[in-house]
Structure 1
């Protein structure tokens, strides 16, 4: 029996970058968390410890900061593409570069004053190989709630089932969504905002018989509204809200007082895709 090296990659994770663009008296602030991962002809370092083909991860970190100074930082997709292409084009042993970006939003309070926005986080994952380029954008932590217009009944029951059926419940989730672009050029900001708006509109306007149905509705609305997108993958935790028993106090709880559950929680995941687009160049959900 032979033991061989399988797929592998290495890189610098979570390089925190704050870039201030000083455009006169009015500043622009960009706050990112950048990850870089490289793969290619790197077997020697694993098998013999020969590091001749290993670009230090410290160099990757330095490249992020240097590029932020030299090129500025606009949309996260543009910055990620710039970095990923650099590593593939300058390192002959590298066959694929994956750059991920978390973008933290700040609201302007004045020409040079800002307040961190405590809402959802914008995400980006760019993969550049010698054959293809792939851009995936997304959002995480988009918390949504409907206080009615949600039911759940008619499900499978067995000896361990205790969940009561309901025709009126709170439906809440924290959306984790990633969508694949058809190309590597787009109005990234408009595309992102449009996708988030479509996700939100679908959640608000879907009368839900299950969170799975809501997932399909959200994915469908995003692809309908954004023709530049090929597919979307959604992970929707069901943030359970349990009706509190107030009968011990002589009170009737008419779907008004709830305990917000933490864990365990249901997790609904799925992909919604166009049936007429080419498949992804790489496994982009990794």
Structure 2
């Protein structure tokens, strides 16, 4: 009832143990706390919180317009609603290295299991758009060092994302990944890889976990879990998929409402009231109310 009973530090410890096992962990993107509960209910290993989704939820493009306060607040709302570990997108860290340090501690306090900091310039843009620009290696290293130095819980995962593949090619991506690991990154997020062979090349270059971003309509082919596992990927995310599906369904429902004047034909596509109540644990709230507030006056 209410929020997860597993403390954040314990979620992080369990996540690190599972990540060290070598299995591939599946982290679908949650677009709100309720969808995080559904991800857990379906048996996935973790929850991902996308910066693109947070921006879109505010009606904004993914170009660095969100603030640390907005991201941390939404991350806390999602992370506390599930027993699963949650990794959140922190863009470029919301400023210079000192800002990156504050970002890490704020996200720790919000109950997240980890985050990734990228090497794009400020303001950043979606990793699968053309026209990206990345910072020099020294700046990228300072961001990750600041993150590692600021961390208080050693199990809080600091992941370095590099977007350099689309700008300077694979050799540069391999060199950047190695430098970021040397700077203190616990994991590497190589953005916009185009082939399984490119993921395999990053896997061979570093001795930390790597993440694959399977976002639709982007630069990467949509590889299966089995394909990614075969080249040594440790975490796979589908950052915007649930939001895209939900918004597509919402758009079609509104069209039906315009055309038919009712949604009777859509009832089979809706989450039933009973399923919603089960997902939010309505029965336990009801029992709590009865136990606490229902009483008889002694005469």
Indicate the TM-score class for this superposition, using the shorter chain for normalisation: under 0.3
- Which structure is higher in strand share? 1
Please report the TM-score for the alignment, with normalisation by the length of structure 1: 0.28
- Which structure is higher in helix share? 2
Please report the TM-score for the alignment, with normalisation by the length of structure 2: 0.27
More relative contact order, 1 or 2 (CA 8 Å, 6+ apart): 2
